[in-house]
Amino acid sequence: MEFVGKILFMAVMAIFVQNFVLMRFLGLCPYIGVSKKLDSALGMGMAVIFVMTMASTFTWLIHTYLLVPLHL
């Protein structure tokens, strides 16, 4: 039962506390659903996923290889 509680806790944290869209207002346009057409919504969703992935990757690289070695 403890395992299920931990999984549920992680799911709630991921959805409500550490959610990029709700916490940082990133990618708000596709979240609100401004686009009514499937093609443009899919394109905008893919663009948001790409930008979020690149931003997270570069942030991790800077943190790991620059800030941590310099103790900043």
pLDDT value of position 68: 92
Query: Does residue 31 sit within a domain?
Result: yes
Mean pLDDT of 6-29: 75
Query: Does residue 72 sit within a domain?
Result: no
Domain that holds residue 23: 2-67
Give CA–CA dist 16/23, Å, rounded: 8
Query: Does residue 10 sit within a domain?
Result: yes
- The 10s digit of each residue's pLDDT in 23-67 is 666 656 666 666 677 777 788 878 878 988 898 899 999 999 999
Query: Does residue 11 sit within a domain?
Result: yes
Q: How far is CA 7 from the centre of its chain?
A: 19
The verdict on pTM exceeding 0.85 is no
Query: Does residue 58 sit within a domain?
Result: yes
Query: Does residue 53 sit within a domain?
Result: yes
The tally of domains found in the chain comes to 1
Give CA–CA dist 71/68, Å, rounded: 5
Query: Does residue 56 sit within a domain?
Result: yes
- The answer to whether residues 53 and 59 touch, using CB atoms and an 8 Å cutoff, is no
